[in-house]
Structure 1
Amino acid sequence: MNEKIVCFGEMLWDMLPDGKLPGGAPMNVAIHLQYQGLRPTVVSRVGCDDLGDKLLAYLKQKGVDSQWVQVDETQETGVVLVNVSNRSEVSYEIVQPVAWDYIQPQEGLEQVVAQSDYFIYGSLAARNVTTRDTLLALLKVAKGKVFDVNLRPPHYSLEVLEPLLQQADMVKMNHHELMEIAGWHQPYTDEQTAMAFLRSHYAVQTIIVTRGENGAAVLCDTGYFEQAGFRVEVEDTIGSGDAFLATFLVNYITGKSYPEALRMACAMGALVATQKGATPIISPEAVRQLMGK
């Protein structure tokens, strides 16, 4: 696979009760893409501090291109306080402001994005006007735009989200986010109807909705497809959605059907939930074994 992919947004540390783990959805997605044979580039910003140095070292260890990760002399590296008391519904307290709130335009960056096949971005990084303006400028030159919705109260609003939705070719969100965003326009009780409304309203080609242990659904030009969840013993759900998105995209790129891509993605997301942290290595054999059950 020679596709070029840029992952834009937050790099941070998840501060868990028993220690810290590297995190941030764009970085997690990039690492899972790297595991599966792609060569993604991360665009982010860390502080000029020990936590920032360790994140850069972590990306290097994973083999992910970090040349477009900026270093901030003023703001500290991002951290998130994670509550895993409910393993199936992890909650987050995201410290603000931090380095990734100040991702700057940079000479050559627009060219890197314009020459890439896919540009993956999220909603959390748009909480601050500096990073948001940089993101909106890059979206003007990006090709395949993949919007990974991450609604983390109080870091979002309709005014911030709408331009990101309007730019997207593919959108991934969870079922709670689907109903909340659709509900800003009119109330829905049926997920498929809500997906159809958002797809039409924002002119999005593909909408993917994850449902945790209950699997996922996709609505696209060729139809509506659902995949049931895989039953596993959950350690924590941190990074499951990121692994899901990376796996779906890899299978989409390699020409798998939407149902096949959805099934593989659900299996990978389930297996990541059996491990601690966002970026455990999951073997293809483990995925095949789970799907064969």
Structure 2
Amino acid sequence: MKQTSEILCIGSVLWDVIGRTASHMRVGSDVPGRIHRLPGGVAMNIAMTLVRFGLRPVLLSAVGRDAEGDELVAEAGRMGMETAHLYRSDDLPTDIYMAIEGANGLIAAIADAHSLEQAGDKILRPLADGRLGTPGAPWEGLVALDGNLTVELLGQIAESDLFARADLRVAPASPGKAERLLALMGHPSATLYVNLEEAGLLCHATFESSEAAARALVTRGAHRALVTDGGRAATVATQDSCFTQTPPEVLVTRVTGAGDTFMAAHIASEAEGMDPNAALRRALVAAATYVSGDNPL
């Protein structure tokens, strides 16, 4: 079957409500700052970066038929994403994420992705009904998959014929959901994008470096692992290779979405045919630029 787009983005598509302040914060702080509402969610954040690299992502997610959902879908379309295959629910509200960021980093966040979780495998219907694929002629391209999906659905994806020929790129939505990715640990084409904390949760261990973490993930069955560690060295590991690079030093002004930007930039770079070292370098530069606030959301 002829594919309809270069990459599928499967997972959370929602509104981010982010409060940012230049002050250091602690529990109970009440400080001046700015509050922004913008399109977000792991799948959406990845898609936004892919668009900036010239790709046209297809969104597979659950979005309510409420005013917030209509506005979100319209904005995604305006940015250049394919929204025709979203599951639009009459009964489920559009999901939302709320975070507080201070000068000392992310203070707290709550992700309300209950509608995505309740929609379950309904979001995958286009991959089975002929719009994007069928069990006999599955999608053969890139798939960015996020850990906001339930453990049950991730397990289903790991074993499904609908993904048998896909190049899966997988990221947890947060450290709190990292262990959901265990279902995909042995998938023959899945690349895991995790930070040092998330790697530790997947391996039930503590690591001092991204290299140690990436090697451990591969030993545990990951096809390929990319491990980041903030401003410290990041590592790519497979069964046959392992290499590390250090990101550029920048002044951090925001953190929400940095990992998604890194992942999308790496996917786009490899889609363009860059060699592994060049792809990692470009992704690290893209993430550093993002956290410095020098490029638009």
TM-score range, shorter chain: 0.7 to 0.9
RMSD: 2.7
Distance 1:222 1:255 in 2: 20
Spell out the pairing of 1:81-120 with structure 2 (5 A cutoff): 81-86=98-103, 88-89=105-106, 91-95=108-112, 97-99=114-116, 101-103=118-120, 104=122, 107-110=125-128, 111=130, 112=132, 114-120=138-144
- The DSSP-based 3-state class of the residue aligned with 1:124 is coil
Query: By how many angstroms is 1:41 displaced?
Result: 0.6
* Equivalence for 1:234: 252
- The DSSP-based 3-state class of the residue aligned with 1:98 is helix
Which piece of structure 1 moves more, 13-22 or 43-52? 13-22
Distance 2:161 2:12 in 1: 16
TM-score, reference length from structure 1: 0.81
Distance 2:284 2:150 in 1: 27
User: Is the counterpart of residue 146 in structure 1 residue 179 in structure 2?
Assistant: no
* Equivalence for 1:6: 8
> What amino acid is the match of 1:71?
R
Does the 8 Å contact 2:234/2:247 carry over to 1? Answer: yes
- The DSSP-based 3-state class of the residue aligned with 2:84 is strand
> What amino acid is the match of 2:182?
E
Does the 8 Å contact 2:213/2:227 carry over to 1? Answer: no
Distance 2:48 2:167 in 1: 19
Distance 1:210 1:190 in 2: 9
Does the 8 Å contact 2:194/2:227 carry over to 1? Answer: yes
Does the 8 Å contact 1:9/1:125 carry over to 2? Answer: yes
TM-score, reference length from structure 2: 0.80
* Equivalence for 2:194: 173
Does the 8 Å contact 2:211/2:234 carry over to 1? Answer: no
Give aligned-pair identity as a percent: 21
* Equivalence for 1:42: 59
Unaligned runs of 5+ in 2: 20-34
Unaligned runs of 5+ in 1: 282-293
Does the 8 Å contact 1:44/1:100 carry over to 2? Answer: no
> What amino acid is the match of 2:98?
L
Number of positions where the alignment pairs a residue of Structure 1 with one of Structure 2: 270
Distance 2:86 2:161 in 1: 15
* Equivalence for 1:243: 261
Does the 8 Å contact 2:218/2:239 carry over to 1? Answer: no
TM-superposition CA deviations, 1:58-85 (whole Å, max 9, x none): 1111110011111111111111120213
TM-superposition CA deviations, 1:80-108 (whole Å, max 9, x none): 12021355345321125224541415654
- The DSSP-based 3-state class of the residue aligned with 1:171 is strand
> What amino acid is the match of 1:121?
L
**Which stretches of structure 1, 4 residues or longer, exceed 3 Å deviation after superposition?**
86-91, 105-108, 131-142, 186-191
- The DSSP-based 3-state class of the residue aligned with 2:185 is helix
Distance 1:219 1:265 in 2: 15
User: Is the counterpart of residue 123 in structure 1 residue 147 in structure 2?
Assistant: yes
Does the 8 Å contact 1:120/1:146 carry over to 2? Answer: yes
Does the 8 Å contact 2:97/2:112 carry over to 1? Answer: yes
Query: Which of 88, 97, 102 is equivalent to 1:80?
Result: 97
User: Is the counterpart of residue 182 in structure 1 residue 203 in structure 2?
Assistant: yes
